[in-house]
Copies of this chain bind each other. A is one copy, B any other.
Amino acid sequence: MNVGGQHFRTIWLKADDARIVQLIDQRFLPHRFVVEGIATVEQMATAIRDMHVRGAGLIGAAAGYGMYLAARGGADLMQAAAQLKATRPTAVNLAWAIDRQLHAIAAADLAKDKVATALATAKQIADEDAEYCRLIGRHGLELIHRIAREKHGKQINVLTHCNAGWLAFVDHGSATSPIYAAHDEGLPVHVWVDETRPRNQGSKLTAWELGEHGVPHTVIADNTGGHLMQRGDVDLVIVGTDRTTYTGDVANKIGTYLKALAAKDNNVPFYVALPSSSFDWTMRDGLAEIPIEQRAAEEVRHADGWANGERVEVRLTPENSAAANYGFDVTPRRLVTGLITERGICEANEKSILALFPEHASSAPTRKATLLSPFSSREMGAGDKSVASPG
């Protein structure tokens, strides 16, 4: 998307120097726009581990380019893969991109071909990510068009939580992609940006990227969304997800569940935007099964921001107060109006999700459902698995 009127992705090969991968160093946003040049796999590992780049799609793309730099530098590829995988052990896209590179490079014969293959694969991973996000935008745009028709030219208010924007991917973003598509078509879309404590990805990243692309937006405290919905000032909620079960339960940044409850209570449509890589095809019950990361208490005890031209961290709590920092929560599928994927929009339930992604029907572990089914397991053929009702 645009930064100061110029199109950017979050990561790219330097135009005039194929030895360098460039990326936006997000640690300095929204206060400074810093582009970092990465020349080695070690530097890329640091950039991922220390969160110069973050977000599922972008981490995958960064790992892909990291493997390219390893191949180009003649590094031991297995060692490079291990080094990159160790940076953010829970990020599913990381291992997926690295393994894809290992397979692609292994298939090339000559050393020179291996480097070219690694570069082509890195670009492909990045391009696919951008394309999936673009498609999410096209499908989500239909929802916004529908609201626009009902509102007859009045401002369309979309609420989002955390940063599921282009900064978390290569371009477009997931939750933001329909918003950018609507804005670029000239629809009068305005975004309520949850600040998203404790790390403030909303006020720092989402507000910045919307502002740079010219999308009208207003930052709010995380406490505010319910009140806005009660007043009728929210037409649509779109959030991203870190992991969604194939039954439709949505793990996302802590606080998402509270907004989903408010949306339900006020009849506001609540959508989750995700590329299919964010589905977990093995989990039935998000609340029971998805592990929730606990992060450092210091993030809650402090806030960091900008004062007198530098980044400053201030303590908000008494010195001796304990703090707890759960990174994510799970929004049960009953609160989710629909899922916006690269293949289209589906309902947040097993049947609708597997109808859109039938290739995953056989991998879904429906045994529990089978046990609860009125049919015995012998009566239920493999073909029935995809439509077994959720438990």
**Residues of chain A having any CB pair with chain B under 8 Å:** 30-31, 192-193, 195-198, 200, 203-204, 207-208, 211, 216-228, 230, 253-255, 257-259, 261-262, 265, 287, 292, 300-307, 312-326, 328-330
Cβ contact within 8 Å between A326 and B224: yes
Question: Beyond A30-B317, A221-B222, A312-B312: 18 further Cβ-contacts under 8 Å?
Answer: A30-B318, A195-B316, A203-B300, A207-B318, A208-B318, A211-B321, A219-B317, A223-B253, A224-B254, A224-B255, A224-B324, A225-B258, A226-B258, A227-B254, A227-B292, A227-B328, A228-B326, A302-B305
A317-B203 in contact given A221-B222, A230-B330, A255-B221 (Cβ < 8 Å): yes
A228 cross-chain contacts in B, Cβ below 8 A: 326
A226-B315 in contact given A302-B305, A303-B303, A305-B303 (Cβ < 8 Å): no
A300-B219 in contact given A197-B197, A314-B306 (Cβ < 8 Å): yes
Q: How many copies does the complex hold?
A: 2
Cβ contact within 8 Å between B230 and A329: yes
Nearest B residue to A209, CB-CB = B318
A-B contact list, 7 entries, CB within 8 Å: A31-B315, A193-B321, A216-B322, A218-B323, A220-B323, A223-B254, A223-B329
Provide the bound-state CA to CA distance between A301 and B364, in Å.
Answer: 45
Expressed in whole angstroms, the minimum distance between the Cβ of A293 and any Cβ of chain B is: 12
Q: Which 5 A-B pairs have the closest CB atoms?
A: A223-B255, A305-B314, A227-B329, A30-B318, A303-B303
Provide the bound-state CA to CA distance between A307 and B307, in Å.
Answer: 11
Cβ contact within 8 Å between B315 and A306: yes
Provide the bound-state CA to CA distance between A56 and B165, in Å.
Answer: 42
Provide the bound-state CA to CA distance between A316 and B30, in Å.
Answer: 8
A253 cross-chain contacts in B, Cβ below 8 A: 223
Cβ contact within 8 Å between B307 and A223: no
Expressed in whole angstroms, the minimum distance between the Cβ of A232 and any Cβ of chain B is: 11
Cβ contact within 8 Å between B222 and A257: no
A304 cross-chain contacts in B, Cβ below 8 A: 314
Provide the bound-state CA to CA distance between A257 and B261, in Å.
Answer: 10
Candidates B211, B287, B303, B312; contact of A320 at CB < 8 Å:
B211
Expressed in whole angstroms, the minimum distance between the Cβ of A220 and any Cβ of chain B is: 5
